[in-house]
Structure 1
Amino acid sequence: MTNTPLSPRPLSHLAADRRRVLSAAQLRAHGVSAAEAGAQSRPGGAWQQVLPGVYLLHPGPPTSEERLRAALLYADRQRQAPEAMITGLAALALYRFASAPPLLSLDRIDVLVSRTRRLRSTGYVRIVRAQETPEPLEVTGVPVAPVARALADAVARIDDAHTVRRLLTEAVRGGHCEPAAVVRELNRLRLLTRPHVVDAVDSLLAEGRALAEDRLYEMVRTQDLPEPLWNVDLRLPGGPHLGGVDAYWPDHAVAVELDTRSPRRDDATVWSEYTRKREHLERLGITVVHLTPRKLRDAPEQQAVVVRTALMAAGDRAPAAYVVVLPR
């Protein structure tokens, strides 16, 4: 009885199934031995080995999708359940960031894995490790790190201040994520010690603040709330400055303050200042409603209900202390 080498022809049906990239384990499951895969991947052969243990089942250059799938197969080739996800600039390209380079132009594709994995960067795959891997999102069928994490991994590799600023600004202006989430990930990766990143973050927070204010204006007008006094300072007559608020209804003694804090190292100090101001105003009979940019973006109707409830409850409260309202 002769042992005839297995032919790759039974795999031809996979080409229409977007599975022209397979790992050695997947090939074995189809009856293709490591020796046969190696023979098919010799120079001039029908296949090519694009990464250790990962084969492209055609001789031409890989597409951007094939490069991504090959990178993930390499990272997950020794695991029963997929864990790896695309991050960095490749992830931002999948999220359609205009300021990210096209996928095919990237020399490296960053793949995020757990820090416990024994895995090396190789070829065009750069391994990025995480203390705790986030829950991936699926973009065009590919597991991708959340925008804030992908953005931080991209920024970690970029020294150009202009590029960093463009990426951060697009993340917020394009509605991909909130500034606080970006700053949290940058802080987690210890990138806020880099001057060009700190400068970009300052611009990011200003951008996020402006967007949050626009959403607050839109919520008041579209949800038929009474028009407040916008961006004012509150003071006691002849007394100390009580603090600024983003909107104030003097007839109801209700104030709205946007919580646009950034999670930097001084976050506890900033939060204690927020708390002191709120407690001081409420001791004077002024109700302070804190709204976050994310809630204004995702659930403006619910936030309008919170504000409307506070306004309606004004008649049931003891009269508030008289305060002087000044433009901020």
Structure 2
Amino acid sequence: MTENEESVVRRSTLMAAGHSNYSVALRCRPDGPWQQLLPGVLLLKSGPPTRRQRLKAAVLYAGQDAVITGIESLRSQGLYTFDTDEVHILVPASRRLSSREYVQVERTSRMPRPRLVKGLAVAPPHRATIDAARRIRDPSERRALLFAPIEAGLCTIEQLRAEIDAGAQRGTALLRELMNEILAPPLTSTVQQSWAKRVIKEAPLPPPEWDVPVHTAAGQAIGIADAWWDSVGLAWDFGNQRDRSIRRREEAFTNAGLHFVRTTVAELRSNVDAVVLALARAYLNAANRPRPPVQALT
């Protein structure tokens, strides 16, 4: 926990440490050194809170079983395209907790399995994206939000669709329509992947993982590998995302020190021997150098 986060505490913690209600109230006056950010949560400094302090305060207010979702969850996991003053928090349906100040509380019977990012529990990207998209009314902003985490490698279109299917159906018609409009045909072609699996059968390589989001050791998204050999850090791209993102994705992988093999659809269909040779060479090169410190979310 950073020094900034340590300055965000529950009032009850101060009481347990020997402070009285009077001493706390005195310090929280408009000209005092402390301030109340949320009911029962104080910032032991004057001046505007930082983003991290606001997030920490939201979690302290909502309790240990709370999970940050929406835009702030995506930002915490490396997607900085969007910003908001709101912190969207999920709590179990059995809880009785109201939204206060900048914290929007949502009770749910489908609490996600959280990821721990710098000490804060956040919803996985596919859940955070759908939770955020449900609250956006502008179609263009909603469309941009749905596509951004996919292009950034935080999640796949299949994960977004599964999240929509698993949640409440009310209000999902527009989300489904937008996804079909901007993301069809599906980012991962079943046909292309079947061709790729045929190639792998001919290659002297261990089987890879398919459609794998890859992140830096710090948790920053690098991209989604169509096929991924984790032991050596080798990514293979055979065109599962929009053409405009291919070069950007290749640069992201190579800048992270990873070997990256790009295969066109034409090569995948009609030049299997050349593809097998390229993969074998890349795998050998990747195996002969230290594996970069990246993590794959398989």
For normalisation by structure 2, the TM-score amounts to: 0.63
2:72 is the alignment partner of 1:90: yes
Q: Higher relative contact order at CA 8 Å, sep ≥6: structure 1 or structure 2?
A: 2
Equivalent residues in 2 for 1:178-217 (5 A)?
A: 178-187=156-165, 188-190=167-169, 193-195=172-174, 197-203=175-181, 205-206=183-184, 208-210=186-188
Are 2:119 and 1:137 equivalent residues in the alignment? no
* Contact 2:134 2:171 survives alignment (8 Å): no
The AA in structure 1 aligned to 2:75 is A
Structure 1 residues 198 and 44: CA distance shift in structure 2, 3 A: same
After superposition, the Cα gap between the structure-2 partners of 1:293 and 1:16, relative to the gap in structure 1 and judged at 3 Å, is closer
Distance 1:15 1:217, change over 3 A: closer
Are the structure 2 counterparts of residues 67 and 212 from structure 1 closer, same or farther at C-alpha, using a change threshold of 3 Å?
farther
- Corresponding position of 1:40: 27
Q: Percent identity?
A: 32
In terms of Rg, which structure is larger?
A: 1
- Looking at structure 1, the residues matched to 76 and 127 of structure 2 have their Cα atoms a distance apart, in angstroms, of 14
Residues 129 and 39 (structure 1 numbering): CA distance in 2 closer, same or farther, change over 3 Å?
Answer: same
Distance in 2 (CA, whole Å) between partners of 1:171 and 1:214 is 22
Question: Could you list the per-position Cα deviations for residues 282-319 of structure 1 after superposition, in whole angstroms to 9, with x for gaps in the alignment?
Answer: xxxxxxxxx975699587569xxxxxxxxxxxxxxxxx
Aligned length: 215
Whether the 8 Å contact between 2:35 and 2:46 is mirrored in structure 1 is yes
Amino acid at match of 1:83: D
What are the within-5 Å matches in structure 2 for residues 283-298 of structure 1? 293=211
Aligned twin of 1:162: 140
Partner of 2:289: none
Alpha carbons of structure 1 residues 138 and 215: separation in structure 2 relative to 1, 3 Å: farther
- Aligned-residue RMSD, C-alpha: 3.2
Q: Residue 94 of structure 1: CA displacement?
A: 1.2
Contact 1:41 1:47 in 2 (8 A): yes
Deviation at 1:152, TM superposition (A): 1.3
Matches of 1:224 and 1:47, distance apart in 2: 67
Aligned positions of 1:1-328 closer than 5 A: 16=3, 18-76=5-63, 82-101=64-83, 106-187=84-165, 188-190=167-169, 193-195=172-174, 197-203=175-181, 205-206=183-184, 208-210=186-188, 221=199, 224-225=202-203, 293=211
Residue 163 of structure 1 aligns with an amino acid whose one-letter code is E
When structure 1 is superposed on structure 2, of 149-158 and 203-212 the one drifting more is 203-212
Deviates more, 1:172-181 or 1:60-69: 172-181
- Matches of 1:211 and 1:95 in 2, distance apart? 26
Cα distance in 1, alignment partners of residues 96 and 37 from structure 2: 20
SS in 2 for 1:72: helix
Higher mean C-alpha deviation, range 47-56 or range 138-147: 138-147
Distance 2:106 2:31 in 1: 33
* 2:274 counterpart residue number: none
Shift of 1:165: 1.6
Q: Distance in 1 between matches of 2:23 and 2:201?
A: 67
